[in-house]
Amino acid sequence: MSNVSSIIKSIQDIMRKDVGVDGDAQRISQLVWMFFLKIYDDREEEIELLEDEYESPLPEHLRWRNWAADTEGMTGDELNDFVNLQLFPMLKEKLIVHTTSDKEEDIHKAKRAVVIRNIFEDAYNYMKSGTLMRQVINKICEINFNNTQDRHTFGSIYEQLLKDLQSAGNAGEFYTPRSVTQFIVNRVDPKLDEKVLDPACGTGGFLSCSIDYKREKYVKNSEDEAKLVQSIYGVEKKALPHMLCTTNMILHGVDVPSNIRRDNTLTKPLRDYSSSDKVHVVVANPPFGGTEEDGVQNNFPSNLQTKETADLFLTMIVRTLKANGRAGIVLPEGSMFGGGVKSRIKEHLMNECNLHTIVRLPKGVFEPYTDIATNLIFFDKGKPTKGVWFYEHPLPAHRAHLKGKSYSASDNLQFSEFKDVISWWDNREENSQAWYVPYEELANNNFDLDQRHPKHGKVNLPSPLDLSGSIRKTTDNLISYLENIEQLATQMKHIDAPRLPLHRLLTKSTNQIKLDDDTEYTRPTVKMRFRGMKVRDKKFGRDIGSKSQTVIKAGDLIFSRIDAHNGAMAIVPKELEGAIATNDFPSFSIDTEVITPEYLRYMLFQPSMVEVYYHLSKGSTNRRRIVVDKLMALEIPVPNCLKEQEAISNNLLLMEDMVKKVIECSGGIEEDTSLLTAASLHHVFSKDK
């Protein structure tokens, strides 16, 4: 089994060396079309074993196996010319996408060609170096997408690419945790021949989950499989997520995902929906926090018009469902309350549909994309709402160590944690997590769905024994983490390494530009205490006083002359590539043939270094500036072997992770311990025991 995540990281490192690939957005786009061709070829190998008459829509010399699979094959200018002059022109414009034949295999071949053309319509080869491209291709070839484990692991790559999309400025692209998609699909229970739609499908998380669910529960033969494939529909307006979704569908056995369209669902007027447009099931996570362009709201009835994307999708989904159709969607907290049009949209929903269940999720489920609280809402089309069941999903007892009692990116929600709400679903009664609110009460409260459990105003403490058990378990975890730290410390052996001055490792950036009045620029700031960088503001050149600025580059070292002695030093992150900085924020490229950026970070970004930087600075207390020449003369130990540096960095990274867990455990123990006295008194005197 290949280490897919490691391969992806290696590929991205290779791409960063290519002068033609500028930033994350281009790197991801390049990666997606290359993965698509590899996945498509692996899938074709599988089909060829099953179908004797199968014929690829790609000309033979353009199939991955014939130009990419040989690790000693084309490279350099030859490979670059092949991709630019043969591969792309054919895939963009020259594939045979129409047929007059009535043979089923010819019709399928043409449909497959359409899928490939649609993928490459917005794809480009950004790489200039055929040598680096060969290295990337060879890495991709290490993954076999007919290998079940590799195919499964590729799901985590989608998540990583979405994180990178966020860094590349594609706000609103959230990876819906698989546990959430599984739960929603499980509760909506799409039948084999029912049309399933995700109108904002992103990379296809809900759709792939629906495929897995139907296949496991209903597919018994090839006829069932054909019904399944024809029942999956998705729409995505952005090119990169659409490419990822198409690839995801092929990985999940939908060989001709022609029902996955690139479009904006909201641009179709609601009055134009006919019976053929309607579906049995909608599962979706509409974009959070977005607003639509002028004119889109005119596609909706005047009393339901708004620019807020999530609210428009809710109205559209109500219209899209067939009679007795079912929906399960994710909505942000902001859609649950509010008057005016928000109130009218919820009234419309509850009059047209039976809004029977709202599951309220804890904070942190969508970390690291957003900390916005989210809700899972379920409704059926055809009968009006008589009342709504609310279920507040709790953090399970074994999650007591979680900082702030919140899920996080490293400690996320699991599907198994929905077992209690699933058990409750068909045998509903009010309890400490669930409560019922009649329609009349909601209507009198302006259809506010931001409801809290009526009993939560009362004291609701766990028993002392539960708290004690939680403390004991968290303490056991704490001891385990401390033992791991001790083990890591013993593994870090003494190394005799030469001490090199920073000027041997760093080269000052000289990428100076003169600002253009009509261009908007991003200006960053460096946080103190080595906490990285953030966007300070965005301004047009005409509004910036100093017209001479330096363009900073991802991966460079940057610091504040004034606040370096307060730890204002960072490695420029990918999302700030191309931002501008004044001379007060000098930046330096790192000689990665001598030192790894991660090792340099550990050597320079330590609290103990603050005192060093203070003595390398001069001036008054409030305007003390670091002397760059003195900083560049600072010597640090640098092992000659980059692998030794990587080993040290990896150990320190693991140690940092363990330290974070220790801090989280300590916080959990402190919080539970502080409740013990009150819980004991409550246990003694409560009548609800």
State the CATH number of the domain containing residue 17: 1.20.1260.30
Looking at the structure, do residues 115 and 189 belong to the same domain, yes or no? no
Enumerate residues 6+ apart whose C-beta is below 8 A from 620.
none
Q: What are phi and psi of 641, to 5 degrees?
A: -95, 125
| Upstream peptide bond of 368 is cis (omega within 30 degrees of 0) | yes
pLDDT tens digit sequence for 72-129 = 999 999 999 999 999 999 999 899 989 898 888 888 899 999 999 988 988 899 999 9
Enumerate residues 6+ apart whose C-beta is below 8 A from 495.
637, 639, 644, 648
CA–CA–CA angle 676, 682, 684 (5° rounding) = 105
Looking at the structure, do residues 39 and 147 belong to the same domain, yes or no? yes
Looking at the structure, do residues 537 and 614 belong to the same domain, yes or no? yes
Say what the pLDDT of residue 171 is.
Answer: 43
Say what the pLDDT of residue 470 is.
Answer: 74
Report the SS3 class of residue 583: coil
For the domain that residue 361 is a member of, what is the CATH number?
3.40.50.150
Which segment of 46-60, 214-228, 581-595, 617-631 scores lowest on mean pLDDT?
Answer: 617-631
Instruction: Name the band, by pLDDT with cuts 50, 70 and 90, for residue 1.
Output: very low
273-277, 337-341, 396-400, 544-548, range with greatest mean pLDDT: 273-277
Residue 627 has pLDDT above 70, yes or no: yes
Residue 148 has pLDDT above 70, yes or no: no
Say what the pLDDT of residue 172 is.
Answer: 44
Looking at the structure, do residues 217 and 121 belong to the same domain, yes or no? no
Q: Are 20 and 128 in contact (CB under 8 A)?
A: yes
For the chain, percent of residues with pLDDT exceeding 90: 45
Domain count within the chain? 3
Instruction: Name the band, by pLDDT with cuts 50, 70 and 90, for residue 241.
Output: confident
Report the alpha-carbon distance of residue 73 to residue 84 in Å, rounded. Answer: 17
Report the alpha-carbon distance of residue 93 to residue 100 in Å, rounded. Answer: 19
Looking at the structure, do residues 177 and 148 belong to the same domain, yes or no? no
Which segment of 250-259, 277-286, 370-379, 558-567 scores lowest on mean pLDDT?
Answer: 370-379
Looking at the structure, do residues 71 and 184 belong to the same domain, yes or no? no
Question: Does 494 fall in a domain?
Answer: no
Looking at the structure, do residues 53 and 128 belong to the same domain, yes or no? yes
Instruction: Name the band, by pLDDT with cuts 50, 70 and 90, for residue 336.
Output: confident
Report the alpha-carbon distance of residue 111 to residue 258 in Å, rounded. Answer: 7
In angstroms, how far is CA 333 from the centroid of its own chain?
19
Looking at the structure, do residues 567 and 529 belong to the same domain, yes or no? yes
By the 10 Å C-beta count (0-12 exposed, 13-18 middle, 19+ buried), 580 is classed as buried
Which segment of 166-170, 365-369, 373-377, 580-584 scores lowest on mean pLDDT?
Answer: 166-170
Report the alpha-carbon distance of residue 365 to residue 593 in Å, rounded. Answer: 40
Question: Does 489 fall in a domain?
Answer: no
Place of tokens 């693991």: 654
DSSP string, 366-425: TTTT----EEEEEEEESS--SEEEEEEPPPPGGGTTSGGG---SSS---GGGGHHHHHHH
Report the alpha-carbon distance of residue 12 to residue 168 in Å, rounded. Answer: 14
Which segment of 161-175, 263-277, 361-375 scores lowest on mean pLDDT?
Answer: 161-175
Question: Does 565 fall in a domain?
Answer: yes
Tell me which residue range forms the domain holding 45: 1-170
Question: Does 602 fall in a domain?
Answer: yes
DSSP string, 621-654: STT-EE-HHHHHT-EEE--S-HHHHHHHHHHHHH
Instruction: Name the band, by pLDDT with cuts 50, 70 and 90, for residue 6.
Output: confident
Q: What is the rounded end-to-end Cα distance, in angstroms, of the chain?
A: 53
Say what the pLDDT of residue 152 is.
Answer: 56
Helix pair angle (597-604, 642-685), 10° resolution? 60
Looking at the structure, do residues 450 and 506 belong to the same domain, yes or no? no
Average pLDDT over residues 455-464: 61
Place of tokens 């410390």: 489
Question: Does 145 fall in a domain?
Answer: yes
Say what the pLDDT of residue 440 is.
Answer: 95
Say what the pLDDT of residue 394 is.
Answer: 79
pLDDT tens digit sequence for 173-185 = 556 888 899 999 9
Say what the pLDDT of residue 515 is.
Answer: 92
Q: Are 57 and 96 in contact (CB under 8 A)?
A: yes
Question: Does 34 fall in a domain?
Answer: yes
Say what the pLDDT of residue 689 is.
Answer: 47
189-198, 440-449, 565-574, 654-663, range with greatest mean pLDDT: 189-198
Q: 480 or 688: which carries more pLDDT confidence?
A: 480
For the domain that residue 582 is a member of, what is the CATH number?
3.90.220.20
**Mean pLDDT score of the chain, rounded to an integer?**
85
Extract the tokens encoding 237: 């307006």
Average pLDDT over residues 166-179: 59
Q: Are 634 and 501 in contact (CB under 8 A)?
A: yes
Looking at the structure, do residues 79 and 65 belong to the same domain, yes or no? yes
Looking at the structure, do residues 151 and 176 belong to the same domain, yes or no? no
Extract the tokens encoding 575: 């999302």
Among left, alpha and beta (phi > 0; psi -120 to 50; other), residue 306 is beta
pLDDT tens digit sequence for 14-27 = 998 998 887 777 88
Residue 226 has pLDDT above 70, yes or no: yes
Return the amino acid letter for 391: Y
Of the residues 135, 170, 205, the one at which a domain ends:
170
Return the amino acid letter for 164: D
Report the SS3 class of residue 154: helix
Question: Does 399 fall in a domain?
Answer: yes
Place of tokens 């002059």: 85
Report the alpha-carbon distance of residue 284 to residue 201 in Å, rounded. Answer: 7
Say what the pLDDT of residue 365 is.
Answer: 77
Question: Does 606 fall in a domain?
Answer: yes
Looking at the structure, do residues 271 and 409 belong to the same domain, yes or no? yes
Residue 621 has pLDDT above 60, yes or no: no
Of the residues 119, 135, 170, the one at which a domain ends:
170
